[in-house]
Amino acid sequence: MHLKTFVVFKGVKRGMKTLVIASERSLDFGRKIARKLHKPFSKLLTKHFPDGELYLRYPIPLKGAHVILVDSMQPNPDDALVELLFGTASARAHGAKKVTLVIPYMGFLRQDKEFHPGETVSNKIVADLLSRADRIVTMDPHLHRISSLKQIFKTKTKTLTANDILAQHLKAKHKGALVVGPDGESFQWARSVASKAGLHAIVLNKKRYTSEKVRILVKSDVPLKGRDIVIVDDIISTGHTMIEPIKQFKRMKVKSITCIGIHGVFAMNALQKLKKLGSKVECTNTIQNPVSIIDVTDAFVEALR
């Protein structure tokens, strides 16, 4: 564990001091935010005791400060949740005046209903627990049966979207591509991002049977042979929502396929599976991974100023 990670940047404003502190899984993201805000940055020190329990320590004094704790909820979402809860309570115990949680990828939102009797509706429980913070800033949370985080959180929330940044990315790197939303829910990203980028979009229909089994039928109002295809979705988890149409696009002899996810979770070797099918994969950096090449920190900085 390194204690020399507390770096002071120039330009710290007078008044309540603001400290940006990031967990191991969000170090790059946190550093970028701190640098752009001209605030001090440090790493949240965590480890597990021999019995598996979480140990968490702030390596700097927090008294009177506004603590911005950056912790995305992937990988290891259960650990991240406990870190966020301990982090919030511990910051207060050490005298922080205000605690803002920056959660670039908010987990636990897809279990938003009791699909089978006795199941836990995770999104409400997690929202309730995290509401101990003063403010929560996140990006494109998976909202299906609710329309806003404000319906489940008891604290202030700021929901950002990557749409403008994705549109700029498509304009710069995927000129002339056909944008594909793999299911009805992706309509909101695919259509809006495509129209901002001046590209045509089609949206497919998906039926999900289990976490790993989905059925998607590719239907298009424009010819697909020889086209560059960009499939856009909010989350790439097991990758099956992308894999199903990729297989059909390949049979239709498209020129190239790129999968773009706002949040690259890549459970169960999804990234390797997508690459093996010959698809390029690009994600934002809400989750740190080898393909998180689209930087969305500017949107967070704007919201935190």
Whether 124 is catalytic:
no
Quote the CA–CA distance of 100 and 102 in Å, as a whole number: 6
Shortest distance in whole angstroms from residue 292 CB to ligand R5P: 16
Asked if the peptide bond before residue 40 counts as cis, ω within 30 degrees of 0, the response is no
Closest distance to ligand R5P from the beta carbon of 189 (Å): 9
Q: What token pair was written down for 123? A: 């999104």
Q: Is the Cβ of residue 98 or residue 280 nearer to ligand R5P in the bound state? A: 280
Q: One of 17, 63, 206, 255 is an active-site residue; which one?
A: 206
The span from the CA of 163 to the CA of 194, in Å, is 9
To which H or E segment does residue 4 belong?
none
Closest CB to ligand R5P among residues 83, 233 = 233
Q: Which is nearer to ligand R5P, 87 or 107 (CB)?
A: 107
Q: Are 181 and 203 in contact (CB under 8 A)?
A: yes
Contact 162, 139 (CB under 8 A): yes
Query: Looking at beta carbons only, is 111 or 256 nearer to ligand R5P?
Result: 111
DSSP codes, 61-117: --TT-EEEEE--S-SSHHHHHHHHHHHHHHHHHTT-SEEEEEESS--S-S--S-SST
Q: What minimum distance in Å lies between the beta carbon of 184 and ligand R5P?
A: 9
- List of residues contacting ligand R5P (CB under 6 A): 183, 185-186, 214, 233-241
Provide, rounded to whole angstroms, the least separation between the CB of residue 5 and ligand R5P. 34
Active site amino acids:
206
